[in-house]
Amino acid sequence: MDASPDKEFEIVVNTKKHPVEGPQIDFDSVVKLAFPTSPTPTSEYTVTYRHGPHQNPQGALYPGQSVFIKNEMIFNVTPTNKS
């Protein structure tokens, strides 16, 4: 697999396709694709993914982390309010 830094991928975030540059994407970028404007200033998010490349085929993504991506990789982003 070519991990060229300027390669474009098409990923799926909350059922919508998005073109992004790879080879990696970070937590904040995935959240911004799902929610371009934050629901509330106190919102936190849960991000899970599947159908990823061999480096990270599935799992959860946390603030400050990034994952390798591939075409048709699926991300689910759910807002959760702080208590």
Adjacent-strand bridge partners of 10: 19
| Domain presence at residue 1 | no
Amino acid identity, position 80: T
Report yes or no on 71 lying in a domain. yes
pLDDT at 2 over 50: no
| Structural domain span for residue 68 | 8-81
Return the pLDDT at 40: 66
Tally the domains of the chain. 1
SS3 assignment, position 2: coil
21-69: per-residue pLDDT in tens? Answer: 999 999 999 999 999 886 666 779 999 999 999 999 999 999 999 999 9
2 assigned to some structural domain: no
Q: What is the CATH number of the domain that holds 37?
A: 3.10.20
Residue 3 in any domain: the answer is: no
pTM above 0.85, yes or no: yes
HEC profile for 11-55? EEECCEEEEEECCEEEHHHHHHHHCCCCCCCCEEEEEEEECCCCC
Q: Which of 50, 38, 65, 47 is nearest to 11 (CA)?
A: 50
